[in-house]
Structure 1
């Protein structure tokens, strides 16, 4: 009997050891958590990836050399620039005024932080950052700034110079559009994204100072160590001389504030696309606190006033 008990004891020890070894052999489950700017949870690994999550992942890969898969190995917290209330309001504005068939991006001119990114409610396309279309008359500020650089009337800006101005203001030469490297503003038929337009108008609202539009503030590991930190790199956009850049921006802002589309708001600079120029619709508006761009329509006639109606829903 004693011998049986000894054998059973040995078996228990062996089995227990095997269980412990098995537990240590398997790495613990780790998560990547994306947070809103107020530290509330936006997304965690295992949840479906949205267009916003994919934009954040692209930024982490290009600016921080960090992939979600790599972060998932040890666990990480990604603090984003997205304002939870603004994001909710943007999604509601698109749903209520455009039946989900529009895209909206809001950028803080003072920091370049993307505060809201609403791609529309369809599974595809991402109308905030995955659709490239001709800007039409909402491109006016860049053309006007190009004219002022050459001492010409605001309606006589050189097209090639206007593209360079737009790039200095925040429109990248190339962008990852749904996994494809795409050249923006490529010739007379060139286009840009809703995200780019919001970033460009933010530069005018910041009186000629450009800050890169970005989705991520910082990334920490599970122990709180910083893995990535966004840098603030303000640059004068319209002239090497910051005072001249400010002067050009404010001259353009003065014209934009007089646009009838802005109504009687003396602090808002805005522009709406002309339906005679493009078969989709744009509206861009900016104050020192927020730059917002709205895109609607894929093909055929659309309601030219729809983007402005979405913006009116969002504005405080």
Structure 2
């Protein structure tokens, strides 16, 4: 009997050893890691998904045919266009000047790269790309470009032509807004998002050359092989002829740079606007295009200076 028990005990030890050995050979868990442009970590799978992460996921799905689920299975590194300092500065500017009730997007005109995407501090509302608001006066550059095309005074641009110009400059006809396919600039009450406005103003800052606003530079698998690479596809926005597109953009830029709201920066082109329940400020240089939306949660009047204060604080935080 003792011999039988000893044999059984040995078998248990062997089986346990085999199980342990088999488990040690199991593949390690895979992760999706999102990196800032400087390769520091922005997010990894398992962390809560922020509005920025959701924007990256949408872009990978539509432009790269890559879902987060697939990347989670295999493991991947996603290098984004987001600048760590700009992202931190944008969030801080909103927190300090607008009590979180604001959204800010910054785009590099020379590349179309989104450098900052700050949705505000309300986890339920993405004020950078998840709300659609009437642009009001900040739509001026697009209507002015339409007027130049028609040889009219800058305040006489055709509305339908202005919408087409806005689309050529970076405002999509439809956008995924928090999971809903939404038509932008749809009639007189149509709206857009800070993401769209920053992209559109970036086209003027780039002298009439549009590049698609994007969040992702490239994606690699766990072995370093490239799964996706963003393409640079510059297109003249305001005329098929590049020089004519540049002329139109610079004619509008001259008016925007003379706006007193721009301050003393000779290269700053800007516009502000107030609408019931929200206010805008958009400013662009050849280095950076920034759009800020500020909202009143109750739908009341918003201080016209609020989005500009956020914009100024953001630029202050970018300085060395």
Please state which band the TM-score falls in when normalised by the shorter chain: over 0.9
Q: Residues 141-156 of structure 1 correspond to what in structure 2 (within 5 A)?
A: 141-156=141-156
Q: Residues 205-220 of structure 1 correspond to what in structure 2 (within 5 A)?
A: 205-220=205-220
Contact 1:134 1:278 in 2 (8 A): no
TM-score, length of structure 1 as denominator length: 0.96
- Which residue number corresponds to residue 171 of structure 1? 171
Q: Distance in 2 between matches of 1:2 and 1:121?
A: 70
Q: Residues 121-136 of structure 1 correspond to what in structure 2 (within 5 A)?
A: 121-136=121-136
TM-score, length of structure 2 as denominator length: 0.94
The DSSP-based 3-state class of the residue aligned with 2:29 is: coil
Q: Distance in 1 between matches of 2:43 and 2:167?
A: 32
Q: Distance in 2 between matches of 1:7 and 1:278?
A: 81
- Which residue number corresponds to residue 291 of structure 1? 289
Contact 2:32 2:71 in 1 (8 A): yes
Deviations 1:62-115 (A, max 9, x none): 111111111010111100000000001101111111111100000000000000
The DSSP-based 3-state class of the residue aligned with 2:261 is: helix
Deviations 1:95-146 (A, max 9, x none): 1111111000000000000000000011221110011010000000000001
- Count of residue correspondences: 313
Deviations 1:130-178 (A, max 9, x none): 1101000000000000111111111110000000000000000000001
Contact 1:105 1:198 in 2 (8 A): yes
Q: Distance in 1 between matches of 2:263 and 2:5?
A: 93
- Please state how far the C-alpha of 1:2 moved relative to its aligned partner: 6.7
The DSSP-based 3-state class of the residue aligned with 1:109 is: coil
Q: Does 1:138 align with 2:112?
A: no
User: Are the structure 2 counterparts of residues 278 and 4 from structure 1 closer, same or farther at C-alpha, using a change threshold of 3 Å?
Assistant: closer
The DSSP-based 3-state class of the residue aligned with 1:86 is: helix
Contact 1:136 1:278 in 2 (8 A): no
Contact 2:276 2:301 in 1 (8 A): no
Q: Residues 29-108 of structure 1 correspond to what in structure 2 (within 5 A)?
A: 29-108=29-108
- Please state how far the C-alpha of 1:9 moved relative to its aligned partner: 3.2
Deviations 1:32-74 (A, max 9, x none): 1100000000011111111111111111111111111110101
- Please state how far the C-alpha of 1:236 moved relative to its aligned partner: 0.3
The DSSP-based 3-state class of the residue aligned with 1:270 is: strand
Give unmatched runs, 5+ long, in structure 2.
Answer: none
Q: Distance in 2 between matches of 1:7 and 1:191?
A: 75
Pairwise CA RMSD of aligned residues?
1.5
The DSSP-based 3-state class of the residue aligned with 1:244 is: helix
- Please state how far the C-alpha of 1:27 moved relative to its aligned partner: 4.9
Q: Does 1:160 align with 2:145?
A: no
- Please state how far the C-alpha of 1:28 moved relative to its aligned partner: 3.0
